[in-house]
Chain A
């Protein structure tokens, strides 16, 4: 019946509006829920979301060894040419030639923090760090070398 539908409509509308007002009212009376970080003031106690992505880094262990094989999977995965990998050939003790990483060049100024390189990496050699204070006075300082000088690939990683 028309009138029945009409009244039902009104009740449904009022109910959905009250649901919304309940949510905003909930936040209004609970200041503890506020998620604003007063950034420069609380720099030491800043809490960042786990999913926040600031820049690509390559973790090195205490013997200055990384896990990058120089396979260029990240370079291929990168949508805007942020990563450039230069490889070299190591001579193993048995006299065999083996492809290895020479320089991992990372253009921070081009990076969109899309995380595709980290996903593509077969050996988990790179990961996303949470540092976001990237401003520098010279543009060239945004082009970074991610592998430390003299670092080597960790044993057992192919």
Chain B
């Protein structure tokens, strides 16, 4: 059966047999960096095309269909255009911070890749506080955004960045609390253990209604955290031209754009890992035959399938709901999502202590 675990293991054995341990480790770093950058590039191209196609279909349009078959090469052409454009820095801008900001946003997105289990045994770093690491690092992205907004010396950028700050700080809370519900059920922060605990069923089904509530709150909160419509106040085209990246052009703009999509992918991957079992195939309790058949589908397909399902869900939100005002946004968080997720956490704790889950 196809598995990435075998490939990684044999590469590691070969490297350590051929070189001394330090060189082998460095080569492994290089391979990981190469893979991460490749994944970023491919994801950027695929997700932007997917977004445009999904948006078009939902608005009864055709979407890109001129460059290549069914418009497949549209995003490649767009990227080429962006690479060739000049990256302007405005005169009044703080030059150092202005140029640093896109890289901070990108690096945060790259750091988040570390604990994600892409397939069985295919994980960069199985850190024992994986979920905590993800929540901690993902809130660093706001620094990059604030930096971009402040350094641009532009009122739109400043307003967008400030809104984004307020939004991310408040929505971190309910996203964190809904992640904690799963941590309570699993009893571990390690990603591999969380996936292993879903061997006999995903937490979405095993955790009864509280898990479903936590899932819904998680999806809402991460939509807000990634600054996507209906919570895209940080960009809000109609009010702030492009929010914090108004002054950026060329490849620096592309990095912000790419980071947005990578962040979506990562939060969806976390959601898929916590609630939908990560790379774990769909297992139902003790149905041996059914579980065996499901095992034949490679774990990487399961992982990407679930992740892309969640990405589609978030795109569906974007192209259906209108944008919220800033007061409505904070109302939703502090008056609805936060109390509900606190109460939900209490319920889940009771369930976990009394062992009512499957």
A residues contacting B by CB (< 8 A) are: 10, 17, 20-21, 23-25, 27-28, 31, 33-36, 38
Contact = CB atoms under 8 A, between A and B. Distances in A.
3 closest A-B pairs (Cβ-Cβ)?
Answer: A24-B58, A36-B62, A24-B320
B138 to A, nearest CB: 25
A38 B320 CA distance: 25
- Interface magnitude class on chain B: 10 to 19
Contacts, number: 36
B257 interface: no
Contact of A33 (B60, B316, B317, B336): B60
Contacts of B57: 27-28, 31, 34
Contacts of B62: 34, 36, 38
A17 B321 contact: yes
Interface of B: 54, 57-62, 316-317, 319-321, 336, 340
Nearest to B216: A14
A36 B61 contact: yes
A49 B159 CA distance: 43
B58 A28 contact: yes
Contact of A21 (B54, B59, B320, B340): B320
Nearest to A22: B320
Contacts of B316: 21, 24-25, 28
Contacts of A23: 320
A22 B137 CA distance: 35
Nearest to A29: B57
A45 to B, nearest CB: 16
A34 B60 contact: yes
Nearest to B336: A10
Max chain A C-beta neighbours (<10 A), residue from B59, B60, B319, B336: B60
A6 B340 CA distance: 11
Which has the most chain A C-beta neighbours within 10 Å: B54, B320, B340?
B320
